[in-house]
A and B are shown apart, each in its own frame.
Chain A
Amino acid sequence: MNKPVISVKNVTKAVDARQLLVDVSFDVAEQSLVSLIGPNGAGKSTLVKIILGLDSHYNGSVVIRAGERVQYIPQLTMDDQYQLPMSVYEYISIATNRLYGANQQKVDFEKTLTHVGVATEKLYQSYTSLSGGERQRVAIARALLGNPTILVLDEPLAAVDYASRSGLYELIRHLQQGHKMTVLLVSHDIDSVLPLSDQVLCLNKSLHTDCHPSQFTAEGNQTIHHHC
């Protein structure tokens, strides 16, 4: 068996007397789509931050295989009223963060936008004029331009209205297979992610074997949106 792309071993984190994560261990296999699900306060975001190397105050070990390129798509919010004008082109450029031929960049951007299902003419429109679904797709395009081998997505449907949701998970699965990426998907929406995932990790401070939604809704105050 190949070495796992991400290897999490006995990760425990506590802040003061509060346990956030208790002895979490798992491996993520190459080119698999792994969903990390759990209710609010289960430690999902904490674990993701540890995996990404953004939080180093924990016990245990996290190893990302050498040579992997990680891109992270944080949870989107729609309520940033102070955001200054920014075109979609500029928003995507932040990810590439390098100076190479503007024409080549434009071609790449257009190709990637089409790839994620956003019309290329949106490239020069204001980012704030986009819907939640479009913003999420643009965020995926931005991550793809970093040519990742590992893609980590935090609640990709959180800021997306119900009508735009269909197809977003399928897009993620499609891209994962097409680009031969390893995807770690954080969600509380078990019904949607279950059919797409190669592996489902159920987190509620520690990893559980039973992922049934009722277990989560009973504890968390976040309901699972599988009914309209």
Chain B
Amino acid sequence: MELLTYTFVQYAFLGGISMAVLTGILGPFVVQSRQSIASDMFAHVALAGIGAALLVGVSPWWGALPALIIVSTLIWWLLDSGTYSPDALAMFFLSGGLALALAFVHLARDTVFSFENYLFGSILTLTTTDIIAIVASTILVVGIVWFAWYPLLGATQSPRYLVPFRRTPKVVQLLFFWLLAIVVWVGIKTIGGLLIGALLVIPVLTARNWATSFKQLVLLSTIASVLSVSLGLITALYVDLPPSSLIIGITILLFVLQSVARFILQKKGG
């Protein structure tokens, strides 16, 4: 417990739990709208933004934010036009983002920079500025979801439920993409761009069989997400493994445990 007195550990918990709240709340909307792959798409685009920032000499993480907002708007527009299928667009941005990132980083010739920090996160090295940005992002996203709950609920439904709105869902879908972009931005700093998708999706799958309403689903997936991050970080203090791998490991473990519990309950219930 003495470890908890270290500032970097406190920052890791604060940043990690903020991110868990973000993914727990937005995850159900992501799964519901069948956009699970979008987080991965966004993360790869963020890497290109990081590379570009490195090239022009801006802080890499901050460079990712404008890239995310611009490209999420572009993806929203392309998806809305209906010209290209979502999976084809995903591959376009996944590979394109990574290729650009690779080129930018090579051109920047920065010997200290490590891509791994953004692919798999660097939750144990968060600075005070990072924490302020992460907590502010969390408050912003939670606040917007709170006020736009019903529009978001409607706009992320499967398409056939959308018809009564006609125009508004498109705007709300853009808002949803921006919210997801912010969550991915926080994710690349904490758990890593390649792993944030797992934290958005798996807690929802863990919670879905135990909820009867969407509100309950959001609550339960947030609990599952916060539990995974907290247990993962505590384990990381004692086991020599990367925190991100432990967090995702526990997320998967929780999913397996609830599946077993559900199986036993169903057997008992006949």
The residues of A with any CB-CB pair to B shorter than 8 Å are: 52-54, 71-72, 74-75, 77, 80, 82-87, 89-90, 93-99, 124-126, 142-143, 146
> Chain A residues near B84 (CB, 8 Å)?
none
Report the minimum CB–CB distance from A57 to chain B (whole Å): 12
Question: With A84-B204, A87-B213, A125-B212 in contact, do A99 and B164 touch (Cβ < 8 Å)?
Answer: no
Let me know if A71 and B164 touch, CB within 8 A. yes
Let me know if B164 and A90 touch, CB within 8 A. no
Let me know if A84 and B168 touch, CB within 8 A. no
Does B208 have its Cβ within 8 Å of any Cβ on chain A?
yes
Does B166 have its Cβ within 8 Å of any Cβ on chain A?
yes
Let me know if A97 and B212 touch, CB within 8 A. no
Does B165 have its Cβ within 8 Å of any Cβ on chain A?
yes
Let me know if B217 and A97 touch, CB within 8 A. no
Question: With A85-B212, A85-B217, A94-B161 in contact, do A54 and B166 touch (Cβ < 8 Å)?
Answer: yes
Question: With A71-B164, A72-B164, A84-B28 in contact, do A97 and B213 touch (Cβ < 8 Å)?
Answer: no
Question: With A85-B217, A90-B153, A93-B150 in contact, do A54 and B164 touch (Cβ < 8 Å)?
Answer: no
Let me know if B158 and A80 touch, CB within 8 A. yes
Question: With A93-B153, A94-B153 in contact, do A84 and B164 touch (Cβ < 8 Å)?
Answer: no
The residues of B with any CB-CB pair to A shorter than 8 Å are: 28, 31-32, 34, 147, 150-151, 153-154, 157-158, 160-161, 163-166, 168, 204, 208, 211-217
> Chain B residues near A80 (CB, 8 Å)?
158
Q: 25 interchain pairs (CB within 8 A)?
A: A54-B163, A71-B164, A72-B163, A74-B163, A75-B160, A84-B32, A85-B208, A85-B213, A85-B214, A86-B213, A86-B214, A87-B213, A87-B215, A89-B213, A90-B214, A94-B150, A96-B150, A97-B151, A97-B154, A97-B165, A99-B147, A99-B150, A124-B212, A125-B212, A126-B213
Q: Which of B161, B208, B215, B216 neighbours the largest number of chain A CB atoms within 10 Å of its CB? A: B161
- Which residue from chain A places its CB closest to the CB of B158 in the assembled complex? A80
User: Closest 9 CB pairs between A and B?
Assistant: A87-B213, A94-B154, A126-B212, A85-B211, A86-B214, A74-B160, A90-B214, A72-B163, A84-B32
Complex CA–CA separation, A99 to B147 (angstroms)? 8
> Chain B residues near A86 (CB, 8 Å)?
213-214
> Chain B residues near A72 (CB, 8 Å)?
163-164
- Which residue from chain B places its CB closest to the CB of A74 in the assembled complex? B160
Let me know if A52 and B161 touch, CB within 8 A. no
Complex CA–CA separation, A27 to B216 (angstroms)? 47
Complex CA–CA separation, A86 to B31 (angstroms)? 13
Report the minimum CB–CB distance from A145 to chain B (whole Å): 10
Let me know if A85 and B216 touch, CB within 8 A. yes
> Chain A residues near B31 (CB, 8 Å)?
84
Complex CA–CA separation, A74 to B161 (angstroms)? 8
> Chain A residues near B166 (CB, 8 Å)?
52-54
Report the minimum CB–CB distance from A64 to chain B (whole Å): 12
Report the minimum CB–CB distance from B136 to chain A (whole Å): 24
> Chain A residues near B208 (CB, 8 Å)?
84-85
- Which residue from chain A places its CB closest to the CB of B168 in the assembled complex? A97
Let me know if A143 and B164 touch, CB within 8 A. yes
Complex CA–CA separation, A96 to B168 (angstroms)? 12
Q: Which of B150, B161, B213 neighbours the largest number of chain A CB atoms within 10 Å of its CB? A: B213
Let me know if A94 and B163 touch, CB within 8 A. no
> Chain B residues near A83 (CB, 8 Å)?
158
Beyond A84-B28, A126-B212: 4 further Cβ-contacts under 8 Å? A71-B164, A84-B204, A87-B213, A94-B164
